[in-house]
Amino acid sequence: MCGIAVIFNYGTNDPVSEQELIRIRDRMVARGPDGEGVWISKDGRVGLAHRRLSIIDLSEGGAQPMRSEDGSAVIVFNGEIFNFRELAAVLRSEGHSFRSTSDTEVLLKLWEVHGEDMVDLLRGMYAFAIWDERRQGLFIARDPFGIKPLYVADNGKTLRVASQVK
C-alpha cells in the first residue's frame, strides 16, 4: 500500500517543518508498517516522506525516499508498476544500470531519460512525487484511474501532497 507525503514551500523562503512532515507520514503508519523515511532538500524548501509496505524489493535497496544515482532527483512512490521489468530491460539495453530490483528505481531512471513523458510508458496503479534539483521542480503523478490516492492542498505559498487526508 505505502504512503507518501510532500511539502513544497514554493512561495516562501521558509524551510519545511520536518516535524510537520513526520507527523503527516506517521499518521499513515497503517499504509506502510515496514519502513519509513524523510528527505529534506539542502535549501529546506522541499520535503518528501514515505511509509513503506515492502512487496517487490524487500531489501533496503527499495527504501524511500529514494535518490537517483547522481543525487539530483528524489522520489516517493506508492503503488505497483506492472511492466517495470520490461521497462528496466529496455533501460539496461540503453546502458543504464540498477542498484535494486524495485519498481521505484525504474521510475527514477525513466524520469532521467523521459521526463514527464515517462507516464505514457507506465502500466499499473501509482501515485508518486519526484523532486528534481536540476530543474528545481516537483513532478507529481497518479495513475489514470486514480486507484492510488493522492490528496493535494495548495495555499498559494505551500503545496502539500499526501496519500491520506488526515
Annotated active-site positions, please? 2
Q: Which three cell numbers stand for residue 45?
A: 524548501
What's the rounded Cα separation, in Å, for the pair 46 and 74? 10
Within the chain, residue ranges assigned H as helices are: 18-26, 84-93, 103-114
Q: Helix and strand tally (H, E) in the chain?
A: 3, 9
Could you say which DSSP state residue 33 is in?
A: B
Bridge-based pairing of strands 46-52 and 137-142 is unpaired
- In angstroms, the Cα distances linking 126 to 92, 118, 133, 137 are 23, 13, 22, 20
